[in-house]
Amino acid sequence: MAAAEKALWFIESHYSEELSLGRIAEVAGVSPFHLARLFQTMTGCSVVRYLRGRRLTEAARRLADGAPDILEVALTSGYGSHEAFTRAFGEQFGLSPAGVRERGSVDGLALVEPWRSAGGAVVALDEPRLEHDDTRFIAGLGCRYTPDTTQGIPAQWQRLFLHHAAALPKRRTAFGVFCNSDDEGNFEYLAGVDVPGFGGLDPALGTLRLAAREYVVATHHGHVSAIRGTWQAFVGDWLPRSGLQVADAPEFEKYSADFDDASGIGDVEIWLPLKA
């Protein structure tokens, strides 16, 4: 099911762009016909219907939060006109975009949430390494997730770079930070970049200071949609045998300079904080 998982990732990361079954299939590395069969088997719906539902769901959330310009929401949701967007929105939810904005809530709407795959097999892991990292300042967009909603993370990255790129440094390293977890497995995720400091930032951005400390680091190779397998190998297999103890502190994924956010291919490092 690797091709279908790549397609899911690409949709979540690029749903605001002009997408076709052919383009999604090209990224997934299979023919459009093959992808259509795989996707339907895996999710229970067609690629096009899933893409439409995800676009409209994210648009509904923005409108419920008070987005002032419906045309701008339409355009960043992949629709070329106010009319086309309003028609599709009404077919999906039975309400107009203006109606959802007025009610200020998505409760009761037929939302299409990110589909969560069952996960793949544990991967072969490169030997992790120990690293010291100095204090870092991370700025970006934060969101809280449950264990069943983490497939929404790629869309969070898309929102960051679609709506806040101008407020971020031009030279930057991307970090996905996991923090403030609870006993139910829920956590906060900050999709952001390292910044020199927090002064003068867009107030819409969330911020997090990572204290200087020791880490153990593993590297994920290949497509980012398969990173769960690397996490499983690192945390579920290697770490218990290492004798190391992880601290109750933020952990993060650090995206390499060669990571391509258009294809989802490139190294991603997983940094786990260690007890002193």
Same domain, 99 and 141: no
Same domain, 191 and 139: yes
Same domain, 147 and 253: yes
Same domain, 82 and 7: yes
Q: Which domain holds residue 213?
A: 129-273
Same domain, 70 and 137: no
Same domain, 175 and 269: yes
Domain-located, residue 33: yes
Domain-located, residue 114: no
Same domain, 173 and 62: no
Q: What is the DSSP letter of 170?
A: S
Give the 3-state secondary structure of residue 38.
helix
Domain-located, residue 115: no
Ordered per-residue pLDDT tens for the chain, 276 residues: 478 888 999 999 998 888 999 999 888 888 888 888 888 878 888 899 999 999 999 999 999 999 999 999 999 998 989 999 999 999 999 999 999 999 999 999 999 999 876 655 568 899 999 999 999 999 999 999 988 788 889 999 999 988 898 888 888 899 999 999 887 888 999 999 999 999 988 898 999 999 999 999 999 999 998 888 899 889 888 998 898 989 989 999 999 999 998 889 999 999 999 988
Domain-located, residue 122: no
**What's the domain count of the chain?**
2
Look up the pTM and report it: 0.79
Place of tokens 């007890």: 275
CATH number at residue 146: 3.20.80.10
Same domain, 203 and 83: no
